[in-house]
């Protein structure tokens, strides 16, 4: 644990230094706030991967990186916060974040995993509030696409989290319903993005690739209906979806900056 804490501290200081070099634009802030939403789910996903013995080395590295990134993003958004409502929303999320971070650094077990899931939901709701406020403040019609695409990043990690919780048979009510809801939301939002009029040729190509990956991931989900869980496969496919949606969000951020 001391080694992980040291690496987390060093990475956090590096990210914080780079984040503070320049003020965020509204487009950058919206993307970053959306990333916080994703990280709330990525952290618990990696915690569950370690506890369930699924690609533990990779999960431990991702967990440390995600904790450090959330912290540096939080500081950058605090610096950016242009309205009292946004500042208040960030302040309100801080207590949840501190408790969540402390638990995430503990040794994973089933009891703590249940608490982690509950805290991740709270932090997700807090982060969603910040996203909505930044989007409203920007007044840019392309901001909705940044928000929607950024939310797909979160859903990729939420789907993986809930799948891991189901495969580990955690005693949490509503896991399967929440999993199915997340899958439905991702599917609908992907179709909405494909139909967006602001899409560039590059965005349309990236969306085709994401859609192909999504179809592959859904084939793995169907195995769980027969209680044949494949957590390693799902962790890998959703990681690819995350990378694809992260790149798409950056492209939509470019559309937003251009004022389209």
* Residue 7 in tokens: 């690496």
Please write the tens of the pLDDT for every residue from 74-131. 999 999 999 999 999 999 999 999 999 999 999 999 999 999 999 999 999 999 999 9
What's the CA gap between 33 and 17, in Å, rounded? Answer: 18
Contacts of 122 (CB under 8 A, 6+ apart): 96, 100
- How do the domains of the chain map onto residue ranges? 2-257
Instruction: Quote the CA–CA distance of 209 and 215 in Å, as a whole number.
Output: 10
pLDDT at 8: 52
pLDDT digits (tens, 9 = 90+) for 33-67: 999 999 999 999 999 999 999 999 999 999 999 99
Average pLDDT for the chain: 91
Q: How far is residue 200's CA from residue 197's CA, in Å, rounded to a whole number? A: 9
Task: Check residue 259 and give left, alpha or beta (phi > 0: left; psi -120 to 50: alpha).
Answer: left
Global pTM value: 0.89
């Amino acid at each position: 644990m001391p080694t992980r804490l040291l690496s987390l501290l060093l990475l956090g200081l590096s990210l914080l230094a780079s984040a503070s070099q320049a003020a965020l634009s509204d487009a950058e802030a919206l993307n970053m706030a959306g990333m916080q939403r994703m990280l709330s789910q990525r952290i618990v996903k990696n915690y569950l991967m370690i506890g369930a013995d699924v690609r533990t080395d990779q999960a431990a590295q991702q967990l440390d990186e995600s904790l450090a990134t959330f912290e540096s993003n939080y500081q950058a958004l605090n610096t950016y916060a242009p309205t009292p409502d946004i500042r208040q929303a960030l302040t309100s999320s801080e207590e949840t974040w501190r408790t969540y971070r402390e638990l995430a650094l503990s040794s994973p077990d089933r009891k703590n995993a249940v608490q982690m899931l509950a805290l991740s939901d709270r932090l997700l709701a807090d982060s969603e509030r910040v996203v909505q406020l930044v989007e409203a403040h920007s007044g840019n019609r392309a901001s909705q696409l940044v928000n929607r695409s950024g939310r797909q990043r979160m859903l990729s990690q939420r789907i993986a989290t809930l799948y891991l919780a189901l495969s580990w048979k955690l005693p949490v009510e509503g896991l399967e319903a929440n999993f199915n809801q997340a899958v439905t939301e991702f599917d609908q939002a992907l179709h909405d993005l494909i139909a967006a009029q602001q899409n560039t040729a590059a965005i349309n190509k990236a969306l085709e690739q994401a859609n192909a990956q999504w179809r592959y991931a859904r084939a793995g989900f169907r195995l769980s209906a027969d209680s044949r869980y494949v957590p390693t496969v799902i962790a890998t496919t959703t990681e690819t979806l995350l990378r694809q949606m992260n790149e798409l969000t950056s492209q939509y951020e470019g559309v937003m900056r251009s004022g389209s």
